Amino acid sequence: ENTGLQSQPPEEQNYGATAAHVGRGPFMSEARNGAAKRDYLVAAVLCYANLINFMDWFTVPGILLDIQKYFGLSDGDTGLLQTVFILCYMLAAPIFGYLGDRYNRKIILGAGIFFWSGVTLCSSFTNELYYWIFFLSRGLVGIGTASYSTVAPTIIADLFEEGKRTTMLSIFYIFIPVGSGLGYVLAAGMADVTGDWHWAFRVTPCMGGLALVLLILLVPHRTQRRTAAHRALSISGTIRVAAEKPGVQRTAKATWCQDVVSLAKNWSFVWSSLGLTAMAFVTGALGMWVPLFLYRAQVIQNIVPPCLQESCSSSNSLIFGGITIGTGILGVITGAEIARRLRKINNKADPLLCATSMFISALCLYVALMAAERNILSTFIFIALGELFLSVNWAVVTDILLYVVTPRRQSTAIALQILVSHLLGDAGSPYLIGVMSNAIQARHANSFRWSFWSMQYSFILCAFVGVFGGGFFLLTSFFIEEDRKEAER
């Protein structure tokens, strides 16, 4: 076994760029190119499914005013609608993380896409008398979504080496804001065109069906966890020997509780997860309430009349969706590139970048809230800046997890991160903002101005949470070098 590995030239046992020299003949070069094309094709399918995932996620906020009027919901009940989705999503995530580390991930992905697409389609036929069915359907969609969000990033991490991995994860996470923004646009557009908001829930299931077909046809049945060295050795035909050598690929099984205990001792993982929790809190509240907040600001400025009919104007959802797409793409790309450059001169660059962007985002959001009563244009500008600096962190936070956690615990780590960030973040923030708004309105006269002020005062909480998030990322920087070395060992 040792001889099989030692017979390889030293350069072929390396990671990264030097591993690319494994196959020097025409046959090896062709095999390597074919494998690379397949990997990019698989990543493209996963990105497309991620796009649909977040389009479906943010369909409800895109037509929130219509849904609120249709079912006769208060602010608190409306916020609970998104909370039900997130709660089911986060509770299901650890289960799929456990399954993703131990069973075939292609089957898990396919089942999740099929389930959430079917439930979304069925929810579009809900009558106003059965609002509880609509709440239940959003919870079931959250379960299906968890199966995808937990497993898909780990497949991309397996397919690409460290340098390319950051780039591919950046592309994958670009589809979070793009899908979120398109969810607003799709929902508002379908409601305007058809005059019935139910049609907003009948497009993504069709797109999900296409994603399922592509997954079945293009994604390999076996998606094993491999390092760059393992991938290079497999091309040269010696992966079997490498897999048998102790220390090259450890297959000893640990219990889920052992994995959790190990992750709890990983301080970089703990603090970065709390930083992500603050991000989730802010993005959850913004994603749910910003279009309605902007509408109320426009009403008190006499820009738009109060909406009294069943179908309301969706212009704010369209604008906010466009802002989410643009700032998301720019933020993720910029964040990944800045992180890549700064890592060359500072090993703590990733958490420091996340901390800085969180502090700036919190400031921008506070200014946007204060300007909303008098200048709606300034509000749009500062909301866009706040979202831009939040988006800087998406790919960087995931990359931190992937290099401070050993590969065999990555699905579990992502699942736990999902659980914590949503439990303490966007699972409660939409509902909390809604309840605070209700409480403030209840103590004052019922008027359009107080409906705006109640939402404005409630939203200020997000700016303070953003500051706490920056502090958590600063704490991450104290441990990240040691934890990364430990993971590599």
Is 251 a domain residue?
no
| pLDDT score, position 399 | 84
Question: Could you list the mean pLDDT of each consecutive 10-residue stretch along the chain, which spans 489 residues?
Answer: 37 36 51 72 88 87 82 81 84 79 80 88 83 87 83 80 73 81 86 84 89 83 49 36 41 72 91 94 89 87 71 73 87 87 90 96 95 90 94 86 84 81 85 89 78 89 95 94 87
Report how far residue 193's alpha carbon sits from residue 186's, in angstroms, rounded to the nearest whole number.
10
300 and 355 assigned to the same domain: yes
Q: Match 């379960």 to its residue by tokens.
A: 143
226 and 271 assigned to the same domain: no
DSSP letters spanning 145-198:
HHHHHHHHHHHHHHHS-HHHHHHHHHHHHHHHHHHHHHHHHHHHHHHHHHS-GG
166 and 309 assigned to the same domain: no
Handedness of CA 44, 50, 53, 58 (dihedral sign): negative
75 and 191 assigned to the same domain: yes
280 and 218 assigned to the same domain: no
Report how far residue 465's alpha carbon sits from residue 282's, in angstroms, rounded to the nearest whole number.
7
208 and 350 assigned to the same domain: no
Domain count, the chain: 2
Is 238 a domain residue?
no
Q: Match 């919901």 to its residue by tokens.
A: 73
| pLDDT score, position 15 | 32
Is 214 a domain residue?
yes
What are the CA-CA distances from residue 83 to residues 89, 92, 242, 296, 352 (Å)?
Answer: 10, 14, 47, 22, 31
Q: Could you give the angle at the alpha carbon of 238 between the alpha carbons of 225 and 165, nearest 5°? A: 35
| pLDDT score, position 171 | 82
49 and 183 assigned to the same domain: yes
| pLDDT score, position 463 | 94
403 and 461 assigned to the same domain: yes
Q: Match 């420091």 to its residue by tokens.
A: 352
CB atoms inside a 10 Å sphere around CB 306: 11
Report how far residue 358's alpha carbon sits from residue 426's, in angstroms, rounded to the nearest whole number.
16
In the structure encoding, which two tokens stand for residue 214, read together? 């592509």
Is 58 a domain residue?
yes
Report how far residue 271's alpha carbon sits from residue 357's, in angstroms, rounded to the nearest whole number.
16
152 and 284 assigned to the same domain: no
444 and 354 assigned to the same domain: yes
225 and 290 assigned to the same domain: no
Is 160 a domain residue?
yes
| pLDDT score, position 443 | 81
In the structure encoding, which two tokens stand for residue 62, read together? 């895109």
| pLDDT score, position 21 | 41
Is 132 a domain residue?
yes
Q: pTM for the complete prediction?
A: 0.72
Is 21 a domain residue?
no
Domain boundary among 208, 231, 254: 231
220 and 328 assigned to the same domain: no
Domain boundary among 178, 213, 231: 231
By residue range, what is the domain housing residue 149?
Answer: 33-231
Report how far residue 114's alpha carbon sits from residue 213's, in angstroms, rounded to the nearest whole number.
10
Is 250 a domain residue?
no
- Report the CATH number that the domain containing residue 202 is assigned in CATH: 1.20.1250.20
User: Count of alpha carbons within 13 Å of 209, Cβ hemisphere only?
Assistant: 8
| pLDDT score, position 336 | 84
Contact by Cβ (8 Å): 386, 283: no
| pLDDT score, position 3 | 36
- Single-letter residue type at 282: V
If DSSP codes are grouped into helix, strand and coil, which group holds residue 461?
A: helix
